[in-house]
Amino acid sequence: MEVLAEYSTNGTHKIAGQDFYSKEHADLAETVSTILPQNFKTFFINSGAEAVENAIKIAYRKMGPLPGISCLGAFHGRTLGALSFTSSRTSTQVQLSRTCSQKDQVLRKRR
């Protein structure tokens, strides 16, 4: 009961995969907010694939279907949307989404 009482008084800082308030995450969100523009919010997630999926969703909601941009040799995750952008191996390349069917490849400098 103490945890629930603390959670209800401290507010909610949504973090993927966590259902309860975390002072450390709230402190980090507060610190990050000091360097972001005022309109920006933070949302902590678990992986790069989740970041790619959320970026695809945001872009689609704001602008509709678009060609994607990815890097040659890059791996963007194993989720449906992220796989449609990857170019790391033939076995992981798929064209699964109409919103992700066109790719503009950005060449990275190879050292």
Residue 100 is predicted with a pLDDT of 47
Q: How far apart are the first and last CA of the chain?
A: 56
Structure tokens at 32: 């990050």
CA distance to 15, 67, 90, per residue, from 60 (Å): 22, 10, 26
Q: Which pLDDT tens digits describe the chain residue by residue (111 residues)?
A: 675 566 555 554 556 666 667 788 888 888 988 898 888 878 788 888 888 888 888 888 888 877 767 777 777 787 877 777 776 665 455 554 444 444 444 434 343
Spatial distance between the Cα atoms of 111 and 109, rounded to a whole number of angstroms: 6
Would you say 44 and 17 are in contact if contact means Cβ atoms under 8 Å apart? no
Residue 74 is predicted with a pLDDT of 74
CA distance to 4, 5, 61, per residue, from 58 (Å): 32, 34, 5
Which of 15, 68, 4, 7 has the alpha carbon at shortest distance from 43? Answer: 15
DSSP character for 70? E
